[in-house]
Structure 1
């Protein structure tokens, strides 16, 4: 059975899953962080002229970017999943794809929020770098026992929740039989991870929207 992988094989696959998590988090957030700073002059001018409401612009921007934002990670997931020999069950592949695409949208939301708050591409990219490095360190692969004073970084990290979901999809609750107890004890459950990603999806976009309301000519 799939879940009877050796501990070494499990560690290899967990490394791959974490790489996927951090790669697409960085890729999506950095692509999005430049969106609003680059369009600031156009947005300010057209808002001042009353051509359309901010909500119309924002929703059109989100919908227009969606196909291109999801096409590349979908193709990447299909190729890597087959090449790496991950869980062959069709349901496992479908759930893995769903988790990664959802994660990309959350990471994009963070980039949009940072860009809208800063409205300066250089400062926004610097802040995004710092945040993603913090998420890299607290994402659950390199460090399992995060110090109490840094626990907020772990539980605010969408990389952590994505990584936990990818593991859950691959091993369907059997991970505790394959890894030491201290590697799995006290970690967020599946539905907690789902709820956190959904909340972050909306929270980041709301933050970006309200930040854009400050833009003036």
Structure 2
């Protein structure tokens, strides 16, 4: 049914936001001591570390969601189109990437893992509530509706919903008294199109725009993470002793040593 597909779509778009973001939230605090030491020694540049970190974690971040989607997509027959499957796969990975990037940004900004997890929880809940699934956007107070546009889950959920309910999808009318106008016209062969479903849920049918927002958001978040890392994980400069103080101390010590030597020689001569 339509509701079953919506529920599964929302689960896919939310679960693979929770899991990667919570994992990424504790990435940098555990490596802080090693990173500061290596940067102080000049072992490598921060950019090299950051790029290597991103490249090494991509296969791990993509493997499990890909296997999950391959199994669930065809078992549930959420959409029989092969093209829709590959489109949903790409959008799912984009959702994984933006959630991982946000988790890393919080991890770079907050060195305490417990506080980082708290911030992740707050961010996920806000994005969750204003994604447009639980609460219709029209029912949200006007002064809070802007949160819908900055909620990254609006784009992960919206992009996958558009993929599932594309223009070729159609559904039979369950009853004459339906929320869809096409079912109330007395035509026994009436069908609900995917566009009708998206319009009823206030989801714009613009998959390219959703994907572009997710891609740009991921790149911007990764850049912000690098900037935060550069400033928050900067090694402390070594303490430099005042040259004047060192010189004066050295002279004083030399003078004292000379006086001690002279006294010792005088004492030996007297004896």
Asked if the contact 2:88–2:163 (Cα under 8 Å) also holds between the matched residues in 1, the reply is yes
Q: Does 1:194 align with 2:211?
A: yes
Asked if the contact 1:176–1:184 (Cα under 8 Å) also holds between the matched residues in 2, the reply is no
Q: Say which of 154, 159, 165 aligns to 1:160.
A: 154
- For 1:171-190, list aligned pairs within 5 A: 171-173=165-167, 174-178=193-197, 181-184=199-202, 187=204, 189-190=206-207
Q: Does 1:151 align with 2:145?
A: yes
- Hey, what does 1:94 align to over in structure 2? 86
Asked if the contact 1:36–1:116 (Cα under 8 Å) also holds between the matched residues in 2, the reply is yes
Displacement after TM superposition at 1:153 (Å): 2.1
Give the whole-Å Cα distance in 1 for the aligned partners of 2:210 and 2:149: 10
Q: After superposition, what is the alpha-carbon deviation per residue over 1:69-104, rounded to whole angstroms, capped at 9, x for unaligned? A: 100000000111112111111101111111101110
Displacement after TM superposition at 1:182 (Å): 4.9
Asked if the contact 2:14–2:153 (Cα under 8 Å) also holds between the matched residues in 1, the reply is yes
Give the whole-Å Cα distance in 2 for the aligned partners of 1:161 and 1:135: 10
**Does the residue aligned with 2:145 lie in a helix, a strand or coil?**
helix
Asked if the contact 1:15–1:141 (Cα under 8 Å) also holds between the matched residues in 2, the reply is no
Give the whole-Å Cα distance in 2 for the aligned partners of 1:63 and 1:152: 34
Gaps in structure 1 of 5+ consecutive residues: 1-8
Displacement after TM superposition at 1:188 (Å): 7.2
Q: Which has the higher contact order (CA 8 A, sep 6+)?
A: 1
Asked if the contact 2:91–2:156 (Cα under 8 Å) also holds between the matched residues in 1, the reply is yes
Displacement after TM superposition at 1:198 (Å): 1.2
- TM-score under structure 2 length normalisation: 0.73
More helix by share: 1
Displacement after TM superposition at 1:123 (Å): 0.7
After superposition, the CA RMSD in angstroms is 1.5
**Does the residue aligned with 1:184 lie in a helix, a strand or coil?**
coil
Q: Say which of 84, 99, 114 aligns to 2:76.
A: 84
Q: Say which of 33, 43, 48 aligns to 1:51.
A: 43
Which of these two proteins has the greater Rg computed from alpha carbons? 2
Q: Does 1:216 align with 2:234?
A: yes
Farther-moved stretch of structure 1 (17-26 vs 50-59): 17-26
Say if 1:148 and 1:189 are closer, same or farther in 2 by CA, change over 3 A.
farther
Q: After superposition, what is the alpha-carbon deviation per residue over 1:84-136, rounded to whole angstroms, capped at 9, x for unaligned? A: 11111110111111110111011000000000011211111000000001111
Q: Say which of 52, 55, 58 aligns to 1:66.
A: 58
**Does the residue aligned with 1:141 lie in a helix, a strand or coil?**
coil
Displacement after TM superposition at 1:184 (Å): 2.0
Give the whole-Å Cα distance in 1 for the aligned partners of 2:209 and 2:143: 21
- TM-score under structure 1 length normalisation: 0.90
